[in-house]
Structure formats: C-alpha cells, structure tokens
Amino acid sequence: MNDLQSFDARSGAAHGEPLLASTADDINAAAQAAADAFETWGSSTGAQRAALLDALAAALEADREALVALADVETALGTARLNGELDRTAFQLRRFASIATRGLPFERLDDPAVAGAPPVGHPAMVLQRVPLGPVAMFAASNFPFAFSVLGGDTASAMAAGCPVVVKAHPGHPLLSQRVFALIQNVLKAQGLPAGLIGLVQGAGVEVGVALVRHPLIAAGAFTGSTRGGAALQAEANARPRPIPFYGELGSINPVVALPAALQARGAELATTLAGSIVQGCGQFCTNPGLIVLIDGAEADAFVAQLATALAAQQPHAMLTSGMRRAFDAGVARFVEHGAQPLVQQPGSTQAPGPQLLQVSGAQFLQQSALHDEVFGPSSLVVRAASQAEVLAVLAAVGGSLTVTLWGADAESDDTRALVRGAMAIAGRVLFAGVPTGVAVTAAQQHGGPWPASTAPMTTSVGDAALNRFLRPVSLQDAPAWLLARQGRPC
C-alpha cells in the first residue's frame, strides 16, 4: 500500500512527515470492530444515538480553532469558508440527533389483520425498518468537514443505527486524523465501543477497494468523482454478496437563462453567476459548469457581461496539485473538441485563472466530451438555436444534481416543457439564485440520475439521507413483546 503525505495546498510543499497507510490487517480490524459495535448500536435507542451525535458536534466546536487552521493548510479553502463549513457540520450532526430523538428511524406502518379470505383478508402486518450494518464511508476532498469524517454520511448512518468505517480522503489526512481522535475521546467518554466509527487511510485505490470488498461491510456511501464512484460501485456489485452503494458524484449543473430574464437583469445575473463559478475555486459538485442560452442580442450582451465579471475574479489555490493539473487538462480537452475560449486568465502553479468557453448547441450535442465535468473555476456557454435545442441539450446532459431555470416565472407551453426537461435530469430544480450552496433541510434532494449519482432515488443531504441506511422488514402476526419495542430493532 502507498504511504500518505499531507501537503500545504497553497505551496504544494510536503506538510509534516509521511504517514502510514492502512494495511490489510488494519482494514480487517476496522470492519470487524464495526461489526462488533453493530451488535449493540443497531438496537440502540434514539436518545443514545442523539447523545453521541450531540457530543460529536460539541467536540468539533470545542476544537474549532485548531481544526480550521489545519484544514486551511491542507485545503487552502480559507478560514471564513472553513468556519462556516464546521458550523454546517455541527448543525447536521445535531439535526440527525433530533431525528433520532423524534424516533424517525423507528417509524412503522401498522396494517391490522382483516378477517376473511385473501386477497381482501390478511394477517396483521407491521412494516418497520432495520439498519443495514457497517457502512464504508468515502470522504470527499472538497468538503473537509461536511462531507468528510464527521460529515452528513456519518451522521445519517449513525442516526440510522449503523457503525461507520471512514475511508479518509488523502487530500486532508492530518485533519482526518485529528477529527478521528476527537471521535475516539467522545466514544470513550460515553462508554461506547471504539469501533463504532473507524478510520482507514491510503493514497491509492487499494484501501477503498479492500474496504468495499470486506464481507462485514453492508453498504457504501461515497462522495467524489464519477469515475471513482463508478469503480467502487462496480466493486460493490461484484462482491459474492453485492451491497447497496450510494455514490454522490460529479455534476455539470446546467443554468438555463431565458432571454426575458437576461433582458430584465442580465448584468446582475452575470455578476452572481461569475461569483458562483469561482466560489471555493469552483470545487463544488454544484458548480455551474454549463450555461445554456438561446442565441440573440440578449445572449450576446450577457456573455460579454459574464466574461468581464469572470475575468476580474482571482480564485484561490486548488485542493491538490493533482486537481490543478486535471483542471488544465479538462479545459484543454474542451478546446480540442471545438470549444472557443472566451476568458483564459492565466493562473499560478497552485491557483488557476478563471476560464469561460463557448460552443453552439449543435456542437454540444455532437461532442460527448463536452458533457464532462471540469472540476474548478470554469464554465461552458452553450448557444442554442431554439428552445427545442435547449431541451435537447438538457437531455444530452442526462443527469445532474441541479438544473437552474432563470425566466420560467410565467406558465406557458415553453416553460412547462423546460420544467419537464429539467425535472427529467436533475434532483433539484432552482428558479432563482445559483446552484452552489445546498440547504440541509427536510425537502432537500441532493442526487440525480447518472452520472450525478449511483442511486437517484436517494439523497446524501437533508433528512432523507437517513433512509439510505435502513431496510424495510414486514413483521407478520408478530408477538406482543416485539410490537412493544415500537420499531426499535432487537
């Protein structure tokens, strides 16, 4: 297995000593410890789950200063953003604590017996849910708190009654270890098994593959690239006993701006969009990577405004040197496939300059290479010849976390068709604002058809994230003692 190294994201220089990657024995021990912890955690009460999640949120907050400083070195995301992300992470933990307290993991459907012959008559049935078991959780690089060791996947799995073995992201190994140490302190203080939340690390695919293949792992939760997610999903499916695999993947998040919206407030929208394209150096799964316009004077003016607003932006360093190189390669690939550069700001070794490219609708439809995510501060303008071509472009994208529609305020045949086209490919459709920024709330849907997600019926953000880790079981003519547990598994 490859060794690990922490890097200073701003300079690219090694930060601290090399770290040891998890061995096959370490991975086996973590999976076994999680399976042992499942024996009791799977039947824990809502109050027990809430007490742990609340304490984990408090532990994060208590160590805020050191955590944010370390995260800033390893990711270059800046202390303002990282403090906000830590707040969001604590909020998520507390939200799932509240969900556990309110008993949502134990909700059940009572279907009393009906006398008589079937199909009308039936026995007494109760539908409840059981936790799946130990979850292999893959942390993302671009959310070192909110989609990492104590992120939404861990919070929702723990609230569901599932232990977690985290595959830490090699982009922030020291931060991952520090958060893990906090977790171990909290588990010890609460008298809970250390294996309830495990951590494995590595700087190559072997560690993650071994974890997903482990027979004691019951599900996978992944946040990362479409390529990585596809590879791990294939591993999950190729096991002798395949397991559910929830992959939240990359996305190009089309923004469709109709002429009327551009005419009314094109300059304001251009400024807002430019800010969204470079926010966090464009390293968001909800980054607006595709801007779809209907050709005409409004589109001409908007593209000019956007180019000016974007050229003035100065993105910070990228998360890793590998991502920095991949960004240049992605932009070059678009140019090779016929995209015309509109903004080509030079960058530095670690920080890229913003990029804006343009193609016609026909070109976009012909070149599937233009449908790929370029992770970083760039966006591709597609100039469609008609509304029908806009719909064809959306259909060609196929799957996205979001679609944004600006100018669909009044009902018409056209707006209905656009909304239908957007809903057909996205998990979230926005009618105002920009797709970056994902609210952690009850009605959130963060997922979408492939290639945005491997499981478009589920969400990785929001309350329903819990459902991924629970499996329905019908109890037929169950004894009174079992019903008295009110949905809490044995």
Please list the active-site residues: 248, 285
Nearest to ligand NAP of 232, 365 (CB atom)? 232
**Residues sharing a CB contact under 8 Å with residue 122, sequence separation 6 or more, in sequence order:** 111, 113, 114
Tell the smallest beta-carbon distance from residue 153 to ligand NAP (Å): 10
Whole-angstrom Cα distance, residue 129 to residue 120?
A: 25
Task: Tell me how far CA of residue 485 lies from CA of 106, 282, 284, in angstroms.
Answer: 9, 48, 43
Whole-angstrom Cα distance, residue 393 to residue 211?
A: 38
Nearest to ligand NAP of 298, 463 (CB atom)? 463
Tell the smallest beta-carbon distance from residue 479 to ligand NAP (Å): 43
Amino acid, single-letter form, for residue 415 = T
Residue with tokens 């009314």: 264
SS3 174: helix
Given 14, 24, 114, 205, the residue binding ligand NAP (CB under 6 A): 205
Amino acid, single-letter form, for residue 445 = Q
Q: How many CA atoms lie within 13 A of 435 on its CB side?
A: 31
Stretch that binds ligand NAP, among 227-235, 296-304, 346-354, 389-397 (CB under 6 A): 227-235
Tell the smallest beta-carbon distance from residue 142 to ligand NAP (Å): 5
Whole-angstrom Cα distance, residue 82 to residue 72?
A: 7
Tell the smallest beta-carbon distance from residue 350 to ligand NAP (Å): 16
Number of residues that bind ligand NAP (CB under 6 A): 31
Residue with tokens 């309830």: 196
| 196 forms part of the interface with ligand NAP (CB under 6 A) | no
Count the residues in the chain. Answer: 490
Contacts with ligand NAP in 139-168 (CB under 6 A)? 140-143, 147, 167
| 41 forms part of the interface with ligand NAP (CB under 6 A) | no
Q: Are the C-beta atoms of 157 and 135 separated by less than 8 Å? A: yes
Tell the smallest beta-carbon distance from residue 184 to ligand NAP (Å): 21
**Residues sharing a CB contact under 8 Å with residue 270, sequence separation 6 or more, in sequence order:** 302, 305, 306, 308, 309
Tell the smallest beta-carbon distance from residue 453 to ligand NAP (Å): 7
First to last CA, the chain: 39
Q: Are the C-beta atoms of 139 and 167 separated by less than 8 Å? A: yes
| 248 forms part of the interface with ligand NAP (CB under 6 A) | yes
Q: Quick one: CA dihedral 157, 158, 161, 167, positive or negative?
A: positive
- What's the DSSP call for residue 76? -
As beta bridge partners, residue 473 has: 128
Stretch that binds ligand NAP, among 198-206, 301-309, 467-475, 479-487 (CB under 6 A): 198-206
Nearest to ligand NAP of 174, 299 (CB atom)? 174
| 232 forms part of the interface with ligand NAP (CB under 6 A) | yes
| 225 forms part of the interface with ligand NAP (CB under 6 A) | yes
Stretch that binds ligand NAP, among 102-110, 177-185, 225-233, 465-473 (CB under 6 A): 225-233
Given 105, 161, 173, 208, the residue binding ligand NAP (CB under 6 A): 208
As beta bridge partners, residue 14 has: 7
Given 108, 334, 460, 470, the residue binding ligand NAP (CB under 6 A): 460
Given 134, 163, 250, 254, the residue binding ligand NAP (CB under 6 A): 250
| 203 forms part of the interface with ligand NAP (CB under 6 A) | yes
Binding characters for ligand NAP, 350-389, by CB under 6 A (x = yes): -----------------------x-x--------------
Given 219, 285, 291, 391, the residue binding ligand NAP (CB under 6 A): 285
Q: Quick one: CA dihedral 279, 282, 285, 288, positive or negative?
A: positive
Residues at the site binding ligand NAP, with contacts judged by CB under 6 A:
138, 140-143, 147, 167, 169-170, 202-205, 208-209, 223-225, 228, 231-232, 248-251, 285, 373, 375, 401, 446, 460
